[in-house]
Amino acid sequence: FLDGKIGCTVYKNRPLVCRTYPVGSASMDPRQGESKESRFIIKEEMCQGHEEKKEWKLEDWMKDQGATEIEDLNKPWLETVAKLKAINLDDTHQHQISLFIMACYDLDTFHDFVFKSSLLKKFKVDKEMASSIKKDHEKLLQFGILWLQFALFGEGPLQSNNTA
């Protein structure tokens, strides 16, 4: 993906780690299911950005690189992972692990689960949201995280539809 003439060929679609470099990120081990994060500067000789005269504030750098929006989308997922880690899932929790894998990594199966079961009838999901998650995998993934928060922890903004 690196071309000597034009540089990064995936620049517009580059992953978060590329967008934030040379800012590093470290997450602390969650105790109460909260993800705690620290930031630091990575100084490597290959990074010519350190030679630039312009100084950046972290918030401005993140916005300029399009990282803020991605981090905002990732935050509910990271919080869900932190809570799962805090409850120490093991082999006796295969059902919960399977739900997590399906909703986060197997969107085709999750899509079928949402639309070929009674799941949408069990929750207060308006027609507009149902339509958007049916067509848009990013929206489906966001819905999956909301559903996981409810299914695994009994919390989050998704509300049960008691009439179903």
Q: How does pLDDT run across 90-140, given as a tens digit for each residue?
A: 777 888 889 999 999 999 999 999 999 999 999 999 899 999 999 999 999
Do 10 and 46 lie in one domain? The reply is: yes
* Token pair listed for 124: 């207060």
Whether 60 and 123 map to the same domain: the answer is: no
Angle, nearest 10°, between helix axes 137-153 and 127-135? 120
The verdict on 93 and 41 lying in the same domain is no
60 shares a domain with 115: no
Q: Confirm whether 75 is domain-assigned.
A: no
Q: Are residues 54 and 95 in the same domain?
A: no
In-domain check, residue 81 = no
Tell whether 2 is covered by a domain. Answer: yes
Looking at the structure, tell me whether residues 106 and 63 fall in a common domain. Answer: no
The residue with greater pLDDT, 14 or 5, is 14
**Pair (53, 106) in one structural domain:** no
Both tokens of 33, joined, read: 């299911």
Decide: 155 and 147 in contact? Cβ < 8 Å. Answer: no
Residue 108 within any structural domain of the chain: yes
Picking from 45, 158, 148, 159, the residue whose alpha carbon sits closest to that of residue 104 is: 148
Q: What is the mean pLDDT of residues 48-72?
A: 89
55 and 117 assigned to the same domain: no
Residues 41 and 101 in one domain: no
Domain ranges, residue 106? 89-164
Overall number of domains in the chain: 2
Q: Which residue has the higher pLDDT, 164 or 61?
A: 61
- pLDDT of 164 reads 47
Asked, for residue 76, whether it belongs to a domain, the answer is no
Mean pLDDT value across residues 69-73: 88
Taking residues 148-154, what's their average pLDDT? Answer: 91
Residue 83 lies in a domain: no
Instruction: Please give the average per-residue pLDDT across 144-155, as a whole number.
Output: 92
Residue 117 has a pLDDT of: 93
- Cα–Cα distance, 139 to 114 (Å, whole number): 13
Residues 63 and 93 in one domain: no
Q: Measuring CA to CA, which residue among 76, 86, 100 is closest to residue 33?
A: 86
pLDDT in tens, 14-59: 888 888 889 988 876 655 555 577 899 998 888 877 888 899 999 9
Question: 135 lies in a domain?
Answer: yes
Is the pLDDT at 145 greater than 80, yes or no? yes
Query: Does the pLDDT at position 1 exceed 70?
Result: no
- Same domain assignment for residues 42 and 101: no
